[in-house]
Amino acid sequence: MRIVGFLFSLGPILFGIGFLAPVIAAAITAGGLDAPAGLSSIQFGLLIGIILGVIARQRRTWLW
């Protein structure tokens, strides 16, 4: 049961990786923009998704 609890505690980070990253990458591509710092759009999406997931996990909410 501790493993399941641990995986649920990683939920916001996994959501950031699995959902937000592809959405951000698709938005960058659809907008015809280039990701900063020479990153590909998916790399930039993963970076932002992980950061937002960690913030949501620390705050325990997605709402600001």
Question: Do the beta carbons of residue 49 and residue 62 sit within 8 Å?
Answer: no
Tell me the residue type at 46: L
Q: Is the pLDDT of residue 63 over 90?
A: no
Give this prediction's pTM.
0.85
pLDDT digits (tens, 9 = 90+) for 4-49: 888 888 999 999 999 999 999 999 999 999 999 999 999 999 999 9
Domain-located, residue 34: yes
Look at residue 8 in the predicted model and tell me its pLDDT.
86
Domain-located, residue 51: yes
Two tokens, residue 30: 């659809």
Number of folded domains that form the chain: 1
Domain-located, residue 53: yes
Q: Give the residue numbers spanning the domain of 33.
A: 2-59
Domain-located, residue 64: no
Distances (CA, A) of 59 to 14, 30, 34, 62: 15, 31, 30, 8
